[in-house]
């Protein structure tokens, strides 16, 4: 912001903040556009599940204390929606690199080269951990399908694999976004131009 000189009252000129480019904008189009679609779908799922949970709990209170009734077996199907909504939000956090990272080295290290290596190690460890979780979910699904009948909830008989498949898919999407951030981080370390910078230079 700036102020005008003279006897007049100061005029405040607000500068619009520049929008930070998304990681999907730095990827090749054949990778960036599908991940943009994934982020959009996850956003809709998270909003729908959040609204459904709030509406259901409100309806339960009204039906139970207003009419003396009960919403039949709502805990079973709402559990699935809550799990799916939670992991959809986790995918969005990975897409925006907003997961909590309790790493004190980011404050202590001042050398730019060490800062880059610290970021590389953190992203690589995150990617390896998420890939291990994808594998663990896969093993869990194999165990579920090994039974003659799928294990399910007691009343509505909703198979447990329905949300376990969703969890495995969510971890897979989280791994994709983490790998995308690792790709961008490596390009920055090598001094290679990012796609957003190339597009900005071409537009001038």
- In this predicted model, what pLDDT tens digit does every residue of 10-43 receive, in sequence order? 544 444 445 567 888 888 888 889 999 999 999 9
Q: Is 152 helix (H, G, I), strand (E, B) or coil?
A: strand
Residue 195 confidence class, pLDDT cut points 50, 70, 90: confident
Residue 155 neighbours by CB distance under 10 Å: 11
Task: Kindly report, residue by residue over 46-102, the tens digit of the pLDDT.
Answer: 999 999 999 999 999 998 888 888 888 888 899 999 999 999 999 999 999 887 776
**Could you tell me the CA-to-CA distances from 82 to 33, 159, 166 in Å, in that order?**
27, 15, 11
pTM, two decimal places: 0.82
CA distance 119 to 71: 49
CA distance 50 to 4: 48
Task: Kindly report, residue by residue over 113-142, the tens digit of the pLDDT.
Answer: 888 898 899 899 999 999 999 999 999 999
Q: 61, 94, 51, 169: which is closest to 161 by C-alpha?
A: 169
Q: Is 202 helix (H, G, I), strand (E, B) or coil?
A: helix
């Amino acid at each position: 912001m700036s102020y005008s000189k003279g006897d007049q009252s100061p005029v405040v000129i607000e500068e619009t903040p520049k929008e930070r480019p998304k990681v999907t904008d730095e990827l090749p189009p054949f990778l960036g556009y599908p991940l943009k679609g994934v982020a959009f779908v996850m956003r809709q799922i998270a909003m729908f599940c959040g609204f459904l949970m709030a509406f259901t709990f409100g309806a339960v209170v009204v039906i139970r204390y207003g009419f003396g009734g009960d919403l039949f077996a709502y805990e079973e199907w709402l559990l699935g929606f809550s799990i799916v909504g939670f992991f959809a939000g986790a995918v969005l956090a990975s897409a925006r690199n907003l997961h909590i990272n309790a790493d004190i080295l980011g404050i202590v290290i001042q050398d730019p080269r060490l800062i880059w290596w610290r970021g590389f190690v953190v992203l690589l460890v995150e990617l390896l951990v998420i890939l291990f979780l994808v594998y663990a979910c896969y093993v869990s699904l194999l165990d579920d399908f090994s039974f003659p009948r799928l294990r399910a909830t007691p009343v509505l008989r909703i198979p447990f694999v329905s949300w376990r498949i969703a969890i495995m898919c969510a971890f897979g999407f989280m791994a994709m976004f983490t790998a995308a951030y690792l790709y961008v981080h490596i390009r920055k370390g090598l001094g290679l131009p990012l796609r957003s910078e190339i597009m900005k230079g071409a537009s001038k």
